[in-house]
Chains A and B, each alone.
Chain A
């Protein structure tokens, strides 16, 4: 080899060979015969770790610091011991959530944080630029050596950069792949790993056994030479620091993450990689001390890093030198290819896509645009590397490898902590990483730049402003080498802030879900879909497919949906709610793979997000006072009330069938969002199909969560119910209504519904009327409820016909009032008449549960094992009913025997919370009950000798007539009364047993007459057996 042209030609031929290999690998993959999907190729691909910095730099390092080059390879070998524990978990998570880069991985863990993704990407780009420059300079330097110092008319580095850039684009961005897997690229990298190992072993063997009499001779001669004998010594602190950061680097460097995690096609391949990769590292380093020693003993001129190529060249071993040159090209190209693809992808996902999602209009060829952006990013990475290489020399870059390892280590607390610690939060990760990166810049990057003459050396010698304690390389006076100093301070502060800030912050529900998904990666997958929409239908198949097609192209979207449908075993024309949600989940994952987590979050949010806006507040007071946490109905004043609220500083959302512009004009507001319930699409205004109740609810919920003390107006629930009648099961409508009710009760909003009086079961007496439960207000919701309950019992009973027959019998008996359309059981009919419930049936909570209790008893007669409470447990929870509503029969006095009254108080609090009128007679101070059980003091009568004060009602324990009169007064006024009496032992102590027993007997009668429920708590140990028995005989036991 004698000219630079020849060397470049050789390099082009070699790149063409790589091109052929990549092409072959892609073809085989398309034919379903992947050559890459095997553990040996996977293990060899990890050899990308050994870049030109290793290939040339190890020898230079060995020649100057002796064994100091070894920790860079011992760290990764140690990390492989944790492969099955840690790397497998990273692979599992990345596959599950389609995460395609280290920035995706970390940002996704912390609630798809844009800030984290952007931070990791920017630092990766900062680190990768000089690293790419190093590769270009290394190739250029080796060309210079093998061409005997000849130069080209063109800048060699530019030619190399152009070649590598083109190659990276060809194999890293040929098409959009949601999985970001590139088999051609992996095949090339694995091949190059073999080439550089062969080159290293060949030149090592030649030098060791051809030029010297074996390894021991070189070592002996080096140790015998006083100038070199120190090379066997070790700087222990620096040794440890480098081992630690290389341990982290193998897991977190963008290229390593890409090949080890993203390109892994099968988890068990990792098992082979766990021992092949350390073996590879051992072999590639086997001759490093020998080559370095030989270079010095032979007095080889030039850069020590280049001994590997200079020695064979000087010994007239042109073929060997050529092999080494190709080995070096392999090391450099592999690194540039993988890193440019990985970082280019990160730039697209974390920096460009989130911005693009907000500004790009519909109708653009998004898949084409994304692909071109990805290509541009790859070229940009290589171009930046080239520009950097023009600015600095090789010597200034010698420490770049260590610097980038250190930067990668700053991701360790957030990335690895997030794998095992659920409390790790977004704020903690941002605080830790930001601080870590800043300290890294100050203690590692600045000193390196100073060393290269880019900034003043005085900063290192005297510290900023002459403050010696702030010297970057000896921060706070710590006497360590430059790397150990940086490792210590950056990781210490990073880790501390990560933990402390995490402990002080509260993660969002989304972040919590991701944390669970990461930490419990091996546990059966929990649905990421929120509870409230899990059981209700969401969108159509066409919506799913068009959403995906917009970002990855129609053909790919169709194929992707088809594959997913096949996996779910679903037919497009008949998809159930669960399958639709699985499909959306699939779309979200596919988009995460293609666009990154941040952009996907924007897309998902865009489907549901309506931003809260506060109108300029009028100086007057609002005419209506609507409390947060309540639901209001209005017959004719709905829009006026809503307008009154939003024009007085309350953030509002109006959901209406009317034209939004008309609503705004009439209401005198302009900014408040209005969603039109309409089947039409497009246009300026936001519309939601009235039959897409899940989307409507998620939109309302998202608005409530992003606003403060808002008001939601819906015009009207009646129309929504009518539109969905017959189209969706009754249960879905009930789900929507009950979730709406639950949202209102969450205490973050108030809900205002317009309603026609004739469509309601309740009387509207004022302009706005607070209602306790929506499920029992609108026709035909109570009928729906009854149907759903009966359907559940039918499904649970051994003989469904029994349930239908008994239901029909009960309906025919008229216990629910109107029975006009309720079918009766006709003994002459064959089989059982289908269930027919009058849609206008009026049913309150008490009537519903009374009906169900009777039905349960009737079924129990035919099926002795039938347990209505167990059968309805899930349904009761779903609609926010208390199980005690079904258990407690009005008109009954129950006794609860416990040492302490805690259970009794909990049951009482639960019943009051769901809307029953409650009165608690207690020995406890009402303030304590409010604090512990959330029972309002106004609902409590305190048994005490103290007199009433501050609105707290008290009764002396001996004044039972007064207590009796207070109870009677309460029973007269309450509509659905429940009483709790605890402190019986105190009453007995203060008066006597017989008096208290007579008091209980008298209350029991009142309770029966008023259809109330009385719960009496007794501590069985406070009474003797006879007394207890007499009391028990007056009441019924309450058994859970």
Chain B
């Protein structure tokens, strides 16, 4: 474990901001941008959008684990 530093990911406010941002992206009104009729390569844009946000959350926490746990 590396000791806490001054990096962005070491600051509590950063994670709070990230949660707020993710919550915003996953809710009204941003979710309306992916209206039910919008498709991307024959697939509903809404499903792709939700999948990307979900994967981004996983990626952010994965990178934090790599950085902190090393």
Contacts and interface: CB of A to CB of B under 8 A. Distances in A.
Chains A and B form a bound pair = yes
B69 A78 contact: no
A663 to B, nearest CB: 60
Contact of B62 (A77, A220, A237, A275): A275
Interface in B15-50: 15-16, 18-19, 22-23, 26-28, 31-32, 36, 42-44, 46-47, 50
A223 B61 contact: no
Given A78-B57, A81-B60, A243-B26, A216 B15 contact: no
A82 B15 contact: yes
Contacts of A215: 43
A272 interface: yes
A78 B64 CA distance: 15
Contact of A274 (B19, B54, B65): B65
B55 A80 contact: no
A233 B28 CA distance: 12
B6 interface: no
B1 interface: yes
A289 B48 CA distance: 13
Contact of A219 (B1, B16, B31, B43): B43
Interface in A54-112: 67, 70, 74, 77-78, 80-85
A271 B65 contact: yes
B22 A279 contact: no
A243 B64 contact: no
A234 interface: yes
Interface string A251-294: 00000000000000000100110110011001000000100000
Contact of B36 (A74, A232, A268): A232
A769 B12 CA distance: 61
A80 B32 CA distance: 25
Interface string A227-241: 001001110110110
Nearest to A81: B19
Contact of A78 (B23, B36, B47, B62): B23
A1001 B42 CA distance: 103
Contacts of A229: 36
Nearest to A280: B58
A78 B69 CA distance: 20
Contact of B57 (A67, A80, A271, A272): A80
A81 B13 CA distance: 12
A236 B27 contact: yes
B22 A272 contact: no
Given A78-B26, A232-B36, A232-B44, A70 B65 contact: no
B12 A85 contact: yes
Contact of B64 (A220, A271, A282): A271
Contacts, number: 92
A85 B15 contact: yes
Contact of B46 (A77, A85, A232, A278): A232
Nearest to A77: B57
A216 B19 CA distance: 31
Contacts of A83: 61
A867 B59 CA distance: 60
Contact of A275 (B27, B43, B65): B65
B21 to A, nearest CB: 9
Contacts of A67: 46-47, 50
Contacts of A243: 23, 26-27
A289 B43 CA distance: 13
A78 B58 contact: no
A271 to B, nearest CB: 4
Interface residues of A, number: 34
A485 B50 CA distance: 25
Given A232-B36, A234-B31, A243-B27, A278 B68 contact: no
A750 B43 CA distance: 82
Chain B interface mostly: helix
A278 B1 contact: no
A443 B31 CA distance: 28
A81 B61 contact: yes
A81 B54 CA distance: 11
Contacts of A70: 50
Nearest to A230: B36
Contacts of B22: 78, 81
Nearest to A247: B23
Contacts of B43: 215-216, 219
A219 B44 contact: yes
A80 B61 contact: yes
Contacts of A77: 54, 57-58
A77 B46 CA distance: 18
A81 B19 CA distance: 6
A81 B57 CA distance: 7
Nearest to B27: A240
A216 B27 CA distance: 24
A564 B68 CA distance: 31
A275 B61 contact: yes
B41 to A, nearest CB: 8
A239 B31 CA distance: 11
Given A81-B19, A85-B12, A275 B58 contact: yes
Given A82-B19, A223-B44, A271-B65, A282 B58 contact: yes
B11 to A, nearest CB: 10
A85 B16 contact: yes
A275 B61 CA distance: 5
B68 A240 contact: no
Contacts of B61: 80-81, 83, 274-275, 278
Contacts of B47: 67, 219, 232, 289
A220 B15 contact: no
Contacts of B51: 282
A194 B32 CA distance: 35
Contacts of B32: 236
A959 B62 CA distance: 84
B48 to A, nearest CB: 11
A77 B19 CA distance: 10
B40 to A, nearest CB: 11
A591 B51 CA distance: 47
Contact of A220 (B16, B27, B42): B42
B7 to A, nearest CB: 13
B32 to A, nearest CB: 8
A324 B42 CA distance: 30
B30 to A, nearest CB: 10
Given A77-B58, A275-B65, 12 more contacts: A67-B46, A67-B47, A74-B54, A80-B61, A82-B19, A219-B47, A232-B46, A236-B32, A239-B28, A274-B64, A275-B59, A278-B61
Interface of B: 1, 12, 15-16, 18-19, 22-23, 26-28, 31-32, 36, 42-44, 46-47, 50-51, 54-55, 57-62, 64-65, 68-69
17 contacts: A78-B23, A81-B18, A81-B19, A84-B64, A85-B16, A215-B43, A216-B42, A219-B43, A220-B42, A233-B36, A234-B31, A236-B31, A240-B27, A268-B1, A268-B69, A275-B59, A278-B61
Nearest 9 interchain pairs by C-beta: A236-B28, A275-B61, A274-B61, A275-B62, A271-B65, A232-B36, A271-B69, A81-B19, A278-B58
